[in-house]
Structure 1
Amino acid sequence: MTRLFILLTGYLLFGQPTYSVAQKNVQLQHCCEKIMKAGPWIGYLGAHSGKMRFRLLGIYSHGSTIFFLLRLNNRSPLDYDIDSVRFCIAERARTLPAAPPGILRPVYVYDSTSTVPGYRRATTIYVLPRFTLPAGRRLQIILRERNGGRHLRIQTGNAALIRARLI
């Protein structure tokens, strides 16, 4: 009875049903499982450094969220310890006045890993609120290694975001 009351109240107040945080996480997890089954569809966005390869395999959209399918491939015997993954909106050209980059925070992370063992790979999905890029800006996905120098960066424009596949 209480759940029905909350859904009806949200529908009457906001024009759409209101979901709890747990229900929303279950819904996001279900979408991420669909993406993992569907597999990659972007093959040209990536970076490599010191036998580490970082690739953006797909961008997907569902409701008010964007899903980024990322893969880290470790082709060396050394483990890769992940310090942070950061999504930033930065200026395209370096000649413009330096403005602080806009940092985007993920709302959900599916199959997160902190270490990629040697000769292995890890696939992770980051879920962010839906956004578009203004003119002259690029999305940067920056992966930093803990206590190391194999930092990786992928840059893309608004064209890749607009072509996001629907889930």
Structure 2
Amino acid sequence: MEPGNVIIAAAEAKVRRVVFTSSIGAVYMDPNRSPDVVVDESCWSDLEYCKNTKNWYCYGKAVAEQAGWEVAKEKGVDLVVLNPVLVLGPILQPTINASIIHILKYLTGSAKTYANATQAYVDVRDVALAHILIFETPSASGRYLCAESVLHRGDVVEILVKYFPRIPSSYQMFG
């Protein structure tokens, strides 16, 4: 269900606050932003850039969140948005999601290289707690980034090798 429909339903039901889960994908994808600029809640992904690079995940997250803000304003709904980074932790479903695939590719050896890049991570339980805190804190407003740590991809591989010593450890940097 798109956020606009949820917000309309919330307005009709006289719900006092909607906490919407967006994504860091709606925030960080902007080639025009200087590397020296700290990405924060005021940042938005560049929609044209996302379209041109066929990054439909970031495009979809940004468009959905922007639509949510428009409908919330129109309907007078108190909307607060959480933008988590890559979410890891225990999964409820029996299938593997995109976040787990990010780690699993190193465990299976399907990734022979890793990028010279960093990635921000957050535990799913912290994301759940952030939702509760946002909902229960009357002064909460706007957007909130939700992150726990930022690791270089090489550090991720080192951590995995430590906990899973049988995984392939012949990774090359800058794949």
TM-score (norm: length of structure 1): 0.21
Higher helix share: 2
TM-score (norm: length of structure 2): 0.20
Higher strand share: 1
